[in-house]
C-alpha cells in the first residue's frame, strides 16, 4: 500500500511539474501566412528563429480565423477566445457612415466585452506588459502598457503615445535604448523599437505575461503583395526581432513559453471594387452634408463589405439592396464571390449589425471611390478581410518552451482555441472562451 501511495504521489507531482504555469510571451506578426514558415520555397530566404519552432515546438498548418479576417477583430479573438459578435470589436474602424468619428479605429480596451488574457492574468496577480497589441488603450489590467494608437501619423504621435502609455515603461525604454515605438510610417523602425520595449519589460519589469504586435510584414504585403521580395525581406527582419525577444525571455526565466501567432493570412490583389458607387447611384447612400440621409451603408472589411441598413426593419430598402447586390454579382468581372444574409452572418459570428456581407473574389479588394468605375486597377497589392474559409486567409500559430511538445503538427485549428490554450500555459482561466485547449503538451 505504501509503495502504491508513493507511486501515485510521484505521478501527481510529475503531472504538476509538466503542467506547471509558465511565463508567456505572445508575439503577433501581423498578416503572416503560415506557409511563409512551413513552406521552405515560399521565399528565397529562410527564417531561422520562427522555423526552429517546427522542430523545437508545436505548430499549426493553419488557423481558421474570424469574420472579418481583419487585424483588430482577430487580435481580440486571440486574447479572448471568442468571435467578434461576442467580444465587441467588429472591425478595424468603427462603423461610421456619417464620418463623425473621423476614421477612428477600435483603439480602446473599454470596447472589449469579453474576458481577456490580461484580465485573467491580473486576477492571478501576474505582472502583465503590452507593446502595440490592438485594442489596448487604457487597459487597466495591463501593468506596463505601450498601446497601439495614432492619429496624425507623424512624429507628433509620439507625444500622444507617451500620454497613453505607462510612463515607467515608456520612459525606461527611451532611456535604455534611446528609442521608442512610433506611428509615423517607419514600420520596421517601429517594430525594432517595439521588440526592445518588450525586452525591457521582461528584463526590468519582470513581466510574466507579455503581448507584442509587429506590423511591418502586413504593411509590405498591402503595398507589394504576399511573398513579394519586400514582404520576404521584412519577415526576415522580424525573425531577428523574434529571436532577440526569445533570447531575452529564456535568459530571464528558462521556464518561459514563447508563442508566435498571426491574426490573418493575405491574398494578392490587382483590382478594387468601389461598392459605394452603385449604392450612391441607387440613392441608398449619401455623403457630405446629406450623410445623415443614408439608407444603406458599407462597414468596410478589406476583402468583405458588410451592408448595414439605417433601419433594420425597412423591408423595401432591404429588398432594394438585395436586388442591387445580386445584379452586380451576376457579372463575375465585378469581383463578387458570394453574398451572405443575416442567418449566415450570425453563424460566422461577425458584423452583427449587417443585413448583408459581400465577400469579394480573391484578387479583388474593397475600394473607397465615390464616383467613377465600379472596378479599378490596383496591381500587385495585397489584402485580407475575406471570409475565413478562403485558404489564403489562414493565420499562424507556433509555440515552444517548457512542457511544450517538440515537432508536433496540429493541422488546421480554430483561432478561438488559442486564447484558452495560452491561458493554460499561464495557469489562468478565461470566463467566456468555450473552445477546447489545443494538445500542445509533451
Q: Residues 190-215: pLDDT tens digits? A: 999 999 999 999 999 999 999 999 99
Confidence of residue 284 (pLDDT cuts 50, 70, 90): very high
E strand or H helix at 130, and its extent? strand 128-131
8 Å CB contact between 271 and 366:
no
CA distances from 253 to 208, 212, 257, 398, 402 (A): 9, 18, 9, 19, 10
Domain residue limits, the chain: 21-266+390-426, 268-380
Look at residues 403, 39, 418, 252 and name the one whose alpha carbon lies nearest to residue 244: 252
Confidence (pLDDT) at 6: 39
Percent of the chain with pLDDT over 90: 89
- Provide the Cα torsion 398, 403, 409, 414; round to 10°: -60
Confidence (pLDDT) at 16: 34
Composition of the chain by helix, strand, coil, percent to 5: 40, 20, 40
Q: Is 287 left (phi over 0), alpha (psi -120 to 50) or beta?
A: beta
Confidence (pLDDT) at 411: 99
C-alpha cell, 285: 447612400
Packed helices 167-177 and 187-204: angle between N→C axes, nearest 10 degrees: 110
| DSSP designation for 323 | H
8 Å CB contact between 111 and 129:
no
The backbone torsions φ and ψ at residue 381, rounded to the nearest 5 degrees and listed phi first, read -110, -170
d(CA 442, CA 439): 9
Confidence of residue 379 (pLDDT cuts 50, 70, 90): very high
Name which of 144-158, 246-260, 395-409 the model is least confident about: 144-158
pLDDT tens string 398-425: 999 999 999 999 999 999 999 999 999 9
Q: Is the pLDDT of residue 252 over 90?
A: yes
Please give the full DSSP string across 143-178, using - where no structure is assigned. SEEE----SSSSTTHHHHHHHHS-HHHHHHHHHHHS
Higher pLDDT pick, 436 / 179: 436
Q: Is the pLDDT of residue 14 over 80?
A: no
Name which of 114-123, 148-157, 338-347 the model is least confident about: 148-157
Look at residues 191, 177, 270, 198 and name the one whose alpha carbon lies nearest to residue 235: 191
Confidence (pLDDT) at 354: 99
Q: Is the pLDDT of residue 183 over 90?
A: no
Average pLDDT over residues 89-104: 96
Across the chain, mean pLDDT equals 94
Q: In what order do the strands lie in the sheet with 144-146?
A: 144-146, 128-131, 209-214, 24-29, 257-261, 397-401, 58-59, 408-409
Q: Is the pLDDT of residue 105 over 60?
A: yes
pLDDT tens string 55-87: 999 999 999 999 999 999 999 999 999 999 999
Average pLDDT over residues 103-111: 97
Confidence of residue 157 (pLDDT cuts 50, 70, 90): confident
Q: Is the pLDDT of residue 240 over 80?
A: yes
Cβ neighbours around 88 below 10 Å, total: 18
Confidence of residue 182 (pLDDT cuts 50, 70, 90): low
Confidence of residue 125 (pLDDT cuts 50, 70, 90): very high
pLDDT tens string 261-279: 999 999 999 999 999 999 9
Confidence (pLDDT) at 152: 83
d(CA 70, CA 288): 27
Confidence of residue 169 (pLDDT cuts 50, 70, 90): very high
C-alpha cell, 412: 488546421
Confidence (pLDDT) at 177: 80
Average pLDDT over residues 317-336: 99
| DSSP designation for 361 | P
8 Å CB contact between 381 and 269:
yes
Model pTM? 0.95
Residues with Cβ within 8 Å of 105's Cβ and at least 6 positions away in sequence, in order, are 72, 92, 93, 94
The CATH code that applies to domain 268-380 is 3.30.1360
Average pLDDT over residues 226-247: 98
Higher pLDDT pick, 345 / 153: 345
d(CA 194, CA 71): 17
The CATH code that applies to domain 21-266+390-426 is 3.40.720.10
Amino acid at each position: 500500500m505504501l509503495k502504491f501511495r508513493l507511486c501515485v504521489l510521484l505521478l501527481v507531482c510529475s503531472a504538476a511539474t509538466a503542467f506547471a504555469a509558465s511565463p508567456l510571451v505572445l508575439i503577433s506578426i501581423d498578416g503572416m501566412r503560415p506557409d511563409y514558415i512551413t513552406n521552405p520555397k515560399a521565399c528565397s530566404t529562410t527564417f531561422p528563429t520562427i522555423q526552429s519552432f517546427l522542430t523545437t515546438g508545436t505548430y499549426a498548418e493553419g488557423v481558421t480565423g474570424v469574420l472579418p479576417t481583419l487585424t483588430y477583430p482577430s487580435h481580440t479573438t486571440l486574447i479572448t477566445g471568442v468571435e467578434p459578435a461576442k467580444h465587441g470589436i467588429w472591425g478595424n474602424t468603427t462603423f461610421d457612415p456619417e464620418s463623425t468619428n473621423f476614421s477612428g479605429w477600435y483603439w480602446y480596451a473599454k470596447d472589449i466585452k469579453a474576458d481577456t488574457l490580461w484580465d485573467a492574468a491580473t486576477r492571478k496577480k501576474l505582472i502583465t506588459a503590452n507593446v502595440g497589441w490592438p485594442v489596448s488603450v487604457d487597459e487597466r489590467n495591463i501593468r506596463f502598457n505601450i498601446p497601439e494608437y495614432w492619429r496624425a501619423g507623424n512624429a507628433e504621435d509620439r507625444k500622444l503615445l507617451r500620454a497613453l502609455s505607462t510612463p515607467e515603461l515608456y520612459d525606461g525604454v527611451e532611456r535604455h535604448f534611446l528609442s521608442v515605438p512610433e506611428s509615423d510610417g517607419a514600420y520596421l523602425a517601429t517594430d525594432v523599437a517595439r521588440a526592445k520595449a518588450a525586452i525591457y519589460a521582461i528584463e526590468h519589469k519582470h513581466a510574466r505575461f507579455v503581448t507584442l504586435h509587429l506590423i511591418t510584414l502586413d504593411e509590405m504585403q498591402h503595398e507589394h503583395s504576399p511573398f513579394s521580395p519586400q514582404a520576404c525581406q521584412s519577415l526576415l527582419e522580424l525573425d531577428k526581432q523574434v529571436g532577440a525577444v526569445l533570447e531575452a525571455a529564456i535568459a530571464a526565466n528558462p521556464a518561459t513559453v514563447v508563442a508566435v501567432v498571426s491574426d490573418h493570412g493575405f491574398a494578392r490583389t490587382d483590382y478594387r471594387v468601389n461598392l459605394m458607387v452603385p449604392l450612391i447611384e441607387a440613392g441608398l447612400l449619401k455623403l457630405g452634408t446629406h450623410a445623415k440621409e443614408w439608407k444603406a451603408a458599407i462597414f468596410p472589411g478589406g476583402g468583405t463589405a458588410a451592408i448595414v441598413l439605417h433601419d433594420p426593419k425597412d423591408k423595401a430598402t432591404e429588398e432594394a439592396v438585395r436586388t442591387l447586390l445580386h445584379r452586380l454579382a451576376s457579372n463575375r468581372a465585378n469581383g463578387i464571390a458570394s453574398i451572405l444574409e443575416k442567418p449566415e452572418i450570425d453563424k460566422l459570428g461577425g458584423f452583427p449589425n449587417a443585413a448583408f456581407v459581400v465577400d469579394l473574389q480573391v484578387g479583388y479588394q474593397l475600394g473607397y471611390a465615390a464616383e467613377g468605375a465600379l472596378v479599378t486597377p490596383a496591381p500587385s497589392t495585397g489584402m485580407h478581410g475575406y471570409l475565413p474559409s478562403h485558404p489564403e486567409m489562414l493565420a499562424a500559430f507556433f509555440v515552444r518552451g517548457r512542457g511544450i511538445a517538440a515537432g508536433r503538427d496540429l493541422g488546421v485549428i480554430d483561432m478561438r482555441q488559442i486564447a484558452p490554450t495560452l491561458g493554460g500555459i499561464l495557469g489562468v482561466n478565461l470566463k467566456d472562451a468555450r473552445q477546447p485547449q489545443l494538445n500542445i503538451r509533451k
